[in-house]
Amino acid sequence: MSPNPLIPTIATIKDIIPETGAQDVKTFIVQPDDGEIFPYRPGQCAMLSIFGVGESMISITSTCSRKGPLEFSVKRAGRVTGALHQAEPGHKIGVRGPYGNSFPVEEWKGKNLLFIGGGIGLAPLRSLINYCLDTRRDFQKVDILYGARSPQDLCFKREIFDNWPKGEDAGVHLTVDMGDDSWKGAVALVPHYLEELAPSPENTIAVTCGPPIMIKFTLQSLEKLGFRDNQIVTTLELKMQCGIGKCGRCNIGEKYVCVDGPVFTCEQLRQMPQEY
C-alpha cells in the first residue's frame, strides 16, 4: 500500500454480486493489484476512487477473520456510487485505508450480542457479525434483528437465511415494512419488532446500524427495554472526505468521525454536540 495516506492503491474489481431485487445494492469484490490487503478491523472504512469521477468512503463489508479480497457493499445513491454500479469485473479503481476506529470486540468477550440492522446498514454489521461467529467461543448468545422495506430489499440473503441461523446459539429475526405473497416472516418496523422480541438487557451489548430515523427510534426502544447508554453501540454516517482528520468535513465538536468514529457508544454520543 502507498506510504502516503491520501494516495490510493490501484485495485481490480474481481466480481460483483447484486444484493437486492432492484440491484440498487451490490457487493464489490476488490483485490489490490500489489496483492497486499491492508490490516483492518470490523467497523472500519476505506475510500474507493472511481478515476475521473471522485471518491467515497465506504464501510468494509468483508471480515478480517477470513483471508481473501476486500468486499464493499454499496448502495447506488450519488455520482461516485452510481459510477461504481456501472463498473464491470476487471475495472480498475483506487482504494485507500483503513480509516476510523472499530467495534470494541475485545471489551465484549463473555457478553450476549444483539445486532440490529436496517437496509444497507447491515453492511458494516456483516463484517462484525461474521467476525463474532468466527470467534464464537468469545461470546455468549448472538441475536441478529434485520429489517428492510420489502423482501426484495433484504441484503446478504445467503447469510441471513442460510449461514447465520446455523451459527451456534445464534438467532436471526427478520422483518419487512411491507410483505408479499411469498413472505412468511414478520411485517413490522424494526423498532416495533425489537420491542415485540423484548431481548433482555442483562449482560448484553446492542449494536445498531441503519437509516438515521431507524436508529433514532431503535435507541428509544432499547431504552424502554432497559438497556443503558454504555450497552448501546452505533455508527455515524456523516460525510467523510479525507479520512485522516484534516479536512474538517466530518467533525462534531472536538471529534472527527473519520478518526474518532464512526463507532460510538450511546453514552459517548450524549456527550457530543447534537450536530449529527
How many helices (DSSP H) and strands (DSSP E) are in the chain? 7, 15
Q: What are phi and psi of 146, to 5 degrees?
A: -135, 135
Q: Which three cell numbers stand for residue 85?
A: 454500479
Q: How high is the pLDDT of residue 5?
A: 77
DSSP string for 31-69? EETTSPPPP--TT-EEEEEETTTEEEEEE--S-TTS-S-
With residue 267 as reference, give the H or E element that holds it.
Answer: helix 266-270
Q: So what's the pLDDT on residue 238? A: 63
Output the pLDDT for position 259: 80
For residues 240 and 262, give the distance between their C-alpha atoms in angstroms, rounded to a whole number: 10
Return the residue matching grid coordinates 411469498.
182
Q: What is the pLDDT of residue 271?
A: 84
The confidence score (pLDDT) of residue 27 equals 98
From the list 45, 70, 68, the residue with the least C-alpha distance to 124 is 45
What's the CA gap between 44 and 271, in Å, rounded? 22
- In degrees to the nearest 10, what's the CA dihedral of 124, 108, 214, 85? 0
One digit per residue, pLDDT tens: the chain, 276 residues?
566 778 899 999 999 999 999 999 999 999 999 999 999 999 999 999 999 999 999 999 999 999 999 999 999 999 999 999 999 999 999 999 999 899 999 999 999 999 999 999 999 999 999 999 999 999 999 999 999 999 999 999 999 999 999 999 999 999 999 999 999 999 999 999 999 999 999 999 999 999 989 999 999 999 999 999 999 999 886 667 777 777 777 777 788 877 887 888 989 888 887 765
- How many CB atoms lie under 10 A from the CB of residue 89? 11
Quote the distance between the C-alpha of residue 118 and its chain's center. Answer: 10
Q: Give the containing element (helix H, strand E) for 209.
A: strand 204-209
Q: How far is CA 129 from the centre of its chain?
A: 10
* 11 residue type, one letter: A
